[in-house]
Structure 1
Amino acid sequence: MWNRINANTVHLLYLSISSFLCLFMLFSAVIKDKLYFGEANVALLVGAMLGPFAANAVDPNIWSHFDTVVLEFSRVVIIIQWFAVALELPKRYIHFHWKSLLWLVGPVVVWGWMVCTLLVWFMVPRLSFTQSMTIASCFNAIDPVMAATIVGNG
């Protein structure tokens, strides 16, 4: 029966994400209220402990289809983050604040991205403008989850 499952690396990552989330939900009150650790700090510590330099439970260097695994893993994490942010919003938040959200998501995000792009482009002159835009999109705070983590208790 078990030979029909045919689990690969992506499936094991799905299992590890769901297991981490279940365990974190069980102990989140203690972790956040008593120890004053935020979600990002706990995730970083667990990732460092399970990574190749500590427990070696997850070693990305041995994955055969590294790009596919990282893409699927990123999709799942982004979906979970957006779902968590959507659950925390009040019921009719978008109905009452659509103008400010549109203003922030439109010109403010694009402006911040372009400022970061120009900083990368001037600091690393060998990069093309497109490469600078790609790098700037990685650290520009356009993700509401990351922005909430930075503003919150981290």
Structure 2
Amino acid sequence: MPAYKAELIDILPASRDRVFDHLADHNRLGSLIGLPVRRIRDSDQADPNGTGSVRWIGLGPVGFEETILTFEPERLIEYTVTSLSGFRNHHGRVRLSDTTEGHTRLHYTIEFDEVIPFTGNSLQRALERILRRGARRLRDRLR
């Protein structure tokens, strides 16, 4: 089990399909997290962002690849880092569910181990800030 976990639970003012559309599209994700993101390999599924697709996060040669492991429209996205990075045993999970108010509950977790000793806590805090900032930006776009 990974040693570090960044987590965000939030309620977003939109339906699951609208929230999923923003989070699943690799090319739109960058504006939410504040880093360039581009799809570098399409999925074999109907949605090019689905299972098996690969996205590059970063600027030029400085960044890392993430591969989509699970893609259940309007419900679940799971991914892992599949290139050299500051993370080991990285697993991201985006889970969406309905609320009684017709909004969407977002539960986003990122679990990982550190590669460089004593960097895990700093990476965890940085990821939590990125998740919170991304959720604020997404909320603004959904209004």
TM-score normalised to the size of structure 1?
0.28
Q: Considering fraction of residues, name the structure with more helix.
A: 1
Higher relative contact order (CA 8 A, sep 6+): 2
Q: Considering fraction of residues, name the structure with more strand.
A: 2
